[in-house]
Amino acid sequence: MPERSRLDQLVDIGVAEAEIATGRAPEVVVSEFGRIAIGQAKPNGSRPPRWAPWEDEFVQAKLGLLSLEAIGRRLGRSANAVKIRQVREGWRAPSRREGWLTGHRAAKLLRVDVHAIMRLCQGGVLPHRRTPNVRSDYFIRRQDLYSWALNPMNWLYFRPERVLDPRLRRMLELRRQRWGDEWWTTGQAATYHGVESGDVERLILRGEIHAVRWGNWRLLRSEAMKAGLWFVKGKGTGSDLDWSEEGDAFLVRSRAAGDEYVIIAHKMGRQDIPAAVRSLGYRMKWLRNNGQLEWLIAKYDLPVRYDPQTHELSLSQETRNANPPE
């Protein structure tokens, strides 16, 4: 029989080391690989210590969080020994254990694209772990996903009514009923204010409206409806007019006196009357919807009465008596 090559001997030594490291009897290893192999693998011929319960607990806790090499270094054992121990005991990686979800499974549960889950993880929005293998997979604790999903601040990333898990969907429905707010698009906010989406985006970029970018901008309804927002650009907002507070006060008093928008446009010296009339109408609607009418009346002590129920404006009785109709 030809003499075994040095490479074959090195292979035998490596396999024998792994067998002994996992607790296999040295005499059995000798019968299969020869005394030279076991002598190289364990020069002292001693059997490695048996696995202690705390070592088993450590391996199970760290699987998927540390590499096999790192776990072996902590225990003074080889990576092969750790791997063989895992296989023999049937321990599963965290991504396959009960209570853990892969990125694909989390995406399926929330009914979103898996790439959206990856973006949320990469951006630090969604709590997750990464496997230490070459693929570096994402995996998420089901409890963490539930807690994250039940936070209304995260509802712009998925649609709660589309969630597959019936238990989670029911909890989301109850949470939404108690929340009292909702996420709006810039289009919805623009419709509320009677402006264009671009006008809302300008205030977002200027920091006057807080919004979150997820594909498109999203903002809370309460944020979109807060008082003090001032749209000065865009079609239909009257950007061609000088909307100073004094100009707003003049508009409010003129409307209370019964002046039509065309008359007010003439008084303001506008040449493009049709466009000015439309702008004045939009401006008046904005002042009413944003609660600015009562504030202007009080600040400039306008002789105007305003009914918030009917939104009617009229001059005070004293002013009408002082200026009787001709």
**pLDDT on residue 150:** 94
**16 or 131: which carries more pLDDT confidence?**
16
> What average pLDDT does the chain have?
78
Q: In the chain, what percentage of residues exceed pLDDT 70?
A: 73
Query: Tens digit of pLDDT for each residue in 236-265?
Result: 444 445 567 788 888 999 999 999 989 988
CATH number of the domain located at residue range(s) 96-179 in this protein:
1.10.1660
pLDDT over 60 at 3, yes or no: no
| Statement: residue 233 has pLDDT above 60 | no
Q: Write out pLDDT tens, residues 304-323.
A: 999 888 889 998 876 655 55
SS (H, E, C) 160-208: HHHCCCHHHHHHHHHHHHHHCCCEEEHHHHHHHHCCCHHHHHHHHHCCC
* Residue 170 to residue 192: CA distance in whole angstroms: 30
Grade residue 63 by pLDDT with cuts at 50, 70 and 90. Answer: confident
How far is the C-alpha of 4 from the C-alpha of 86, rounded, in Å?
Answer: 33
Residues ≥6 apart with Cβ < 8 Å to 105? none
Name the pLDDT band for 2 (thresholds 50, 70, 90): very low
| Spatial distance between the Cα atoms of 138 and 104, rounded to a whole number of angstroms | 9
Distinct helix (H) and strand (E) counts, the chain: 18, 8
Residue 34 has pLDDT above 80, yes or no: no
CA distance 39 to 26: 10
Distance of CA 28 to the CA centre of its chain: 58
- The whole-number average pLDDT for the span 173-192 is 91
Nearest to 83 by CA among 97, 75, 94, 72: 72
- The structure's pTM equals 0.47
- Checking if the pLDDT of 232 tops 90, the result is no
**The tokens of 15 are what?**
């396999």
The two beta strands, 100-102 and 138-141, are antiparallel
β-sheet bridge partners, residue 220: 183
Alpha-carbon separation of residue 193 from 135, 189, 295 (angstroms): 49, 6, 18
The predicted model gives 141-156 an average pLDDT of: 92
> For residue 13, what pLDDT is reported?
66
Sorted by where each begins, the domain ranges of the chain are: 6-92, 96-179, 183-224, 245-322
Instruction: Return d(Cα 282, Cα 196) in angstroms, integer.
Output: 12
* DSSP for residue 316: -
Specify whether the CB–CB gap between 198 and 244 falls below 8 A: no
Beta bridge partners of 214: 216
What dihedral do alpha carbons 220, 225, 229, 234 form, nearest 10°?
80
pLDDT of 80 above 80: yes
